[in-house]
Structure 1
Amino acid sequence: MEASVPGYPAIADSDIDLRLIQLEANKIAHAIQSQMAPVAKGFSDFAARLENRFIKNMLVRSLKPAIVKGVDPVERDRLLSAYRTATARGTYAIFNPAMQSPPDTQLLFDPASPLAADYADADWPDEEFEEPILFYVPGGGFILPPSPKQVGLAFRLAEHCGCEAVIGKHRLAPEYPFPLPAKDLADQYEAILKAGKAPSQIILSGDSAGATLVLAMMLELRERRVPMPGGAILFSPWGDLAMRGWSYISRSLSGSSPFRMETAAFSAKLYLGNTLPTDPRASPVYADLREFPPLAIHCSRHDMHFDDAVQLAEKAQAAHVPVRMNYWDSPRHHLERFGSKDARKSFDLVAEFIDARYRRTS
C-alpha cells in the first residue's frame, strides 16, 4: 500500500525494516556497532532516555500555552525571545551538551540582521588555504540560533577532519519564514565562491533542521545553476515536515526521542507559514535529488527522524547520487553532540567521507 500526495512522489507504506534491508543489500545503509563496552553503553542509553524524557516534558510544558492558544503571537514572541536569548548565551540545556565552546573570536550572529552585508564583509579563509571548508548549519528547529557549544561542535568536527569551519548563517522563522533561510545560506555559499574558493573545496553539513536547510540550500543552488559543493553530511536529518514516517509516532511516544510531534509541528508551522509541508523545497524527502553531490547520512535507529533518513537514502539512490547511510542503535538524537566513543566513530566516518571527496576533486 502507498500513500500519495497529488503532484509528489508516492511514499511506500511498507515496513521500514524491509526497506532498510534493501539499502543494506545495496551497500548504502550500514549498521555501526557501538564502540562502548556493553555496561557503559547500557548506562549511556539509560541516561539518554532519562534526558530525552526531561527535555520532552520541558518542551511540552513550555510551548503548551502557545500551542493551545493557536500560536498566539504575543505568547509566541515572548517564548521565542526568551529561548533565543538563553540559547545564544549557552544556558538553554537542550542545546547545550557537555562540549567545549568555540574560540572567543567566533561571535554568534544576530539572527534578525540583514545578511548580505555580512557575507560581503566576511573574513573568509585565505584563498591559498589548502584545507577544505566545512560549511556547517546548526539545528534549532528553524526558530532558534545556535548555542556556543553547538558552534563548538562544528569547530571540533572541522578540526578532526582537517577542515576550516564556516558556520552557515540564516535568519530565523517566523519573522523570516520559508524559503528565506535556505536563500540566505545559498547567498553565503555563493559569497565563499566569489572569494575564490572552488566548489569542490566546500563540504556542507548540518544537523536536524540544519540538515533540512542544507538540502533546501542545494535545491536553491541547483535552481540558480550554481556549482554544487564537494559533498554533504547530514546528521539526524529532518526530511519530512509533514512527519508522515512511522518513527515520528513511535518515537514520540517512547523515551527514544527528546521531541514530540506537537513540538516539532509547532516549529514546522512557524517555519512554513502557509506553505504546504509537502513542498519539496521545504521537505526534501519529496524532492528530486538529481545533480546533488555525494551524501553521508548519520542517524540513530531510534531517532524520530530515522524514517526520513531511510527515505533520503532511497531518494539519493533513485537519483543516482552516491550515498552512504550510517546508523547506530542509540536513543541519542544527533549523538555527535556528546563526547562518547560512538561520537568519535561518527567523526572518523565523516573524516573518511571528506577525505575521499577532497582527494578525488583536488
Structure 2
Amino acid sequence: MDASIPGYPANAGSDIDLRLVQLEAKKIAHAIQSQMVPLAKTFSDFGARIENRIIQAFLIRSLRPAIDKGADPVERARLLSAYRTAAARGTFAIFNPVMQPPPDAQLLFDPASPLAADYADADWTEESADEPILFYVPGGGFILPPSPKQVGLAFRLAEHCGCEAVIGKHRLAPEYPFPQPARDLADQYEAILKSGKSPERIILSGDSAGATLILAMMLELRERRLPMPGGAILFSPWGDLAMRGWSYISKSMSGSSPFRMETAAFSAKLYLGDALPTDPRASPVYADLREFPPLAIHCSRHDMHFDDAVQLTEKANDANVPVTMNYWDSPRHHLERFGSKDANKSFDLVAEFINARFKRAA
C-alpha cells in the first residue's frame, strides 16, 4: 500500500489485527458475541459460506455478459435495464432476508423508468416535527435499485428504533455516475430540512455501497455548509473503491464473502466513470471526516469490506468524530439482512445508538 496518497493513513500498511486491538483498547471497536449456541452457529456459518460461493458464481455468471459487452453501450444498457427490473421486482434477490417488504414496496420503483429513480415520497411531512427520521440508502453496487426486501429491512429497522423510515433517492450509474448520486441524496436531505425537520432529528444509514453514498453525501453537506444530521449508521461500508485492503484479496478468494473483486470492480468502474478511485468524495477512507456527526459502524470480521470498516473507524477517531465499531465473527455480508438473533442484536445496538442521540430511554 502507498501511504503517500493524500488522506491515506500512515499506518495503512500495518497489520489489521494490531490496528483492531488498538481500537479495542480505546473501547472504540467491540467484538460482539454471537447470540446463537455454538452448534447452531457452526451450521449457520457453514451454510453461509456455501451460500456465498453460490452468490459469487451467480454474480459472475450474471454480470459476465455485461462485462463482455462493456464496449457496446447499447447492449450494456439493455442488460443493466433487465437487471434493474429484476432487482426492483425482487426476482434478482440473490440475498434472502426473511422479513417481508412493506405493503406498498412495489410502488417505490418504476421498472420502466430509464433513470431507475422513481422512489415514492415518504409521508414524513405528516408526522410530528419531533418524530425522528431514519434516512436509509440501500446498497446496490451504485447500479441497481433496492429490492422490496431491502426496503422492508429499512422499514423494519426504523420501526425497531422508533423512527420514521425515508428511503434515500438517487439516480444510478453509469447513466448518472459519481458524484451525482451523492448530490441527489444531499438534495433530498436539504428538502427535508426546508420542510421544517430539525437536522439533529435525522439519522442517516446505509449498507455496502449505500453506506459509501451516505459518507459521500455528508461530504457534500459539509461542502454546501448545511447542518449535519444527528448521526449515521454504516452497515458493511464499502470505503475504498480502489480496494487496497487485504480483506478484498483474502475474502474474495474464499467463501467468506458473497462478492469477488472483479464484480466489485465492475460496479466501481461504472460508478466512477473517469474519476480516480482514490478521490475522497468517492472513497471515504481517503477523506477528511472532520465535522461529521457520531458514527456507528457494523461489519463482519470476514467481510470483504472489513479493512475499510477498520480504516473508517480510525479516520473518524483521528478527526475527533465519536465513533463505535461493532463487529461479528460471521461470514455474512450485512448480516442484518437475515433476521437472525445476531441481526436482532445489531438492531438493538442501533437502537441504543439512536436513543443516545435523542436521549430516549431504551
TM-score class normalised by the smaller sequence: over 0.9
Shift of 1:103: 2.8
For residues 154-169 of structure 1, the aligned pairs below 5 Å read: 154-169=154-169
Aligned length: 357
The 3 A distance-change label for structure 1 pair 112 and 186 is farther
Tell whether the 8 Å contact from 2:7 to 2:288 is kept in structure 1 after alignment: no
1:232 is aligned to: 232
Asked if the contact 2:138/2:207 (under 8 Å) is kept, the reply is yes
Q: Measure how far apart 1:135 and its partner are.
A: 0.3
1:311-344 deviation digits (Å, cap 9, x = unpaired)? 0000000000000000000000000000100000
Q: Is the 8 A contact 1:65 1:75 kept in 2?
A: no
Any residues of structure 2 matched to 1:346-361 within 5 Å, and which? 346-359=346-359
For residues 192 and 322 of structure 2, the distance between their equivalents in structure 1, rounded to whole angstroms, comes to: 25
Letter of the structure 1 residue corresponding to residue 320 of structure 2: H
Distance 2:124 2:97 in 1: 28
- Alignment CA distance shift 1:5-1:159 (3 Å): same
Whole-Å Cα distance in 1 between the matches of residues 71 and 135 of structure 2?
A: 33
In structure 2, how many angstroms separate the alpha carbons of the residues matched to 1:72 and 1:297? 39
Structure 1: 5+ residue stretches without partners: none
The match for 2:292 is 292
Paired position in structure 1 for 2:100:
100
Q: Is the 8 A contact 1:142 1:271 kept in 2?
A: yes
Which whole-Å CA distance do the structure 2 matches of 1:280 and 1:274 have between them? 14
Q: Which moved more, 1:76-85 or 1:208-217?
A: 76-85
**Partners of 1:66 and 1:72 within 8 A in 2:** no
Who is 1:7 aligned against? 6
Q: Tell me how far apart the structure 2 counterparts of residues 46 and 123 of structure 1 sit (CA, whole Å).
A: 42
Q: Which residue of the partner structure matches residue 130 of structure 1?
A: 130
For each residue in 1:262-294, what CA deviation from the matched residue of structure 2 results, as whole angstroms up to 9, or x when unmatched? Answer: 000000000000000000000000000000000
- Using the TM superposition, give the Cα deviation of residue 180 of structure 1 relative to its aligned residue in structure 2, in angstroms: 0.4
Give me the whole-angstrom Cα distance separating, in 2, the residues matched to 1:77 and 1:151.
25
**Aligned-partner SS, 1:190:** helix
- Relative distance call for 1:234 and 1:71 in structure 2 (3 A) is farther
Q: Deviations over 1:56-97 (max 9, x none)?
A: 011112222333455542342232111111110011122443
Post-superposition shift, 1:118? 7.9
Quote the Cα distance in structure 2 between the aligned partners of 1:152 and 1:32: 25
2:151 alignment partner AA: V
Question: Residues 244-255 of structure 1: matches in 2 within 5 Å?
Answer: 244-255=244-255
| Cα distance in 2 for residues equivalent to 1:118 and 1:233 | 22
Would the aligned equivalents of 2:177 and 2:272 in 1 still touch at CA under 8 Å?
A: yes
Distance 2:178 2:242 in 1: 14
Partner residue in 2 for 1:21:
21
Mapped to 2, the partners of 1:305 and 1:175 lie a distance apart of 26
The question of whether the paired residues in 2 share the 8 Å contact of 1:97 and 1:149 is answered with: yes
1:103-142 superposed Cα distances (whole Å, 9 cap, x missing partner): 3267213464597x989x7643335253310000000000
| Contact persistence 2:96–2:338 (CA under 8 A) | no
Identical columns (%): 82
Structure 1 contact 313–324 (Cα < 8 Å) conserved? yes
Counterpart in 1 of 2:57?
57
- 1:189 match: 189
Contact preservation (8 Å) 1:100, 1:149: yes
Cα-to-partner distance string for 1:217-242 (whole Å, 9 max, x where unaligned): 00000000000000000000000000
**Contact kept? 1:96, 1:150, Cα under 8 Å:** no
Q: Counterpart of 2:191 in structure 1: which amino acid? A: A
Q: For residues 279 and 25 of structure 1, do their structure 2 counterparts lie closer, same or farther at Cα, with a shift above 3 Å needed?
A: same
Q: 1:265 maps to what in 2?
A: 265
Structure 2 letter corresponding to 1:24? E
Q: Name the residue aligned to 2:79.
A: 79
Deviations 1:4-39 (A, max 9, x none): 354343452111000000000011000000000111
CA–CA distance in 2 between the matches of 1:279 and 1:138?
A: 22
Whole-Å separation in 2 of the counterparts to 1:90 and 1:284: 30
Contact 1:241 1:268 in 2 (8 A): yes
Q: Does 1:46 align with 2:46?
A: yes
Question: Using a 3 Å threshold, how does the CA distance of structure 1 residues 71 and 332 change in structure 2: closer, same or farther?
Answer: farther
Q: Is the alpha carbon distance of 1:292 and 1:52 closer, same or farther for their aligned partners in structure 2, counting shifts above 3 Å? A: same
Check 1:316–1:71 CA distance in 2 against 1; reply closer, same or farther (3 A cut): farther
CA deviations 1:32-51 (Å, max 9, x no partner) are: 00000111111111111111
Q: In structure 2, the residue corresponding to 1:125 is in which secondary structure?
A: helix
Which residue number in structure 2 is paired with residue 330 of structure 1? 330
State the SS of the aligned residue for 1:94.
coil
CA-atom RMSD in angstroms: 1.9
Q: TM-score, normalised by structure 1?
A: 0.94
TM-score, normalised by the number of residues in structure 2? 0.94
Q: Residues 314 and 92 from structure 1, CA distance in 2 versus in 1: closer, same or farther, beyond 3 angstroms?
A: same
Distance (Å, rounded) in 1 between the aligned partners of 2:33 and 2:304: 20
Which blocks of at least 5 consecutive residues in structure 2 are unaligned?
none
Correspondence for 1:312 = 312
